[in-house]
Amino acid sequence: MAARIPAEERLTNLVVALMATEIGLTKQQILDNVSGYRQRADAGTRSDALEKMFERDKEELRALGVPIETIGDAADPNDLREARYRIPQAEYDLPSDIEFTAAELAVLRLAGSVWSAESASGDAQSGVRKIRALGIDGDEPIIGFAPRITARDAAFAPLQEAIEKSRVVGFDYLKPGEDAPRRRTVRPLALVDYEARWHVFGIDVDVEEERMFLLSRIVDDVKVSSATFDASLRDGAGERALQGLAMVAEKNAALLEVTPGTEAALRLGRRATPAAQGITVPFVDLHILADEIASYGPEVRVVEPAPLRDAVIARLRAVVDAHQTQEGER
> Which of 182, 216, 241 is a domain's end point?
241
Residue 144 lies in a domain: no
Q: What is the mean pLDDT of the chain?
A: 79
Task: Answer whether residue 35 shows pLDDT above 70.
Answer: yes
> Which of 191, 220, 241 is a domain's end point?
241
Check if the beta carbon of residue 155 is closer than 8 Å to that of residue 218.
yes
Q: What angle do CA 111, 115, 116 make, to 5 degrees?
A: 140
What angle do helix axes 122-133 and 7-19 make, rounded to 10 degrees? 40
**Is 111 found in the same domain as 48?**
yes
**Is 175 found in the same domain as 112?**
no
Residue 184 lies in a domain: yes
- Estimate to the nearest angstrom the gap between the alpha carbon of 211 and the chain centroid: 18
The terminus-to-terminus CA distance of the chain in angstroms comes to: 57
Task: Answer whether residue 300 shows pLDDT above 90.
Answer: yes
> Which of 208, 241, 274 is a domain's end point?
241
Task: Answer whether residue 74 shows pLDDT above 60.
Answer: no
Q: What's the rounded mean pLDDT across residues 225-241?
A: 92
Q: What is the pLDDT of residue 329?
A: 64
Q: What is the DSSP letter of 53?
A: H
Task: Answer whether residue 145 shows pLDDT above 50.
Answer: no
What is the total count of domains within the chain?
Answer: 3
CATH of the domain at 163: 2.30.30
**Is 285 found in the same domain as 167?**
no
Residue 314 lies in a domain: yes
3-class secondary-structure state, position 302: strand
Task: Answer whether residue 126 shows pLDDT above 80.
Answer: no
**Is 21 found in the same domain as 129?**
yes
pTM to 2 decimal places: 0.51
Residue 32 lies in a domain: yes
**Is 27 found in the same domain as 123?**
yes
* Non-local CB neighbours of 173 within 8 Å, separated by 6+ positions: 181, 182, 183, 184, 213, 217, 218, 219
User: What domain range is 325 assigned to?
Assistant: 252-329
What angle do helix axes 47-63 and 7-19 make, rounded to 10 degrees? 80
Q: What is the pLDDT of residues 91-111, one digit of tens each?
A: 666 666 666 665 565 555 555
Q: Which residues pair with residue 245 across a beta bridge?
A: none
**Is 109 found in the same domain as 188?**
no
Higher pLDDT, 70 or 2: 70
**Is 23 found in the same domain as 54?**
yes
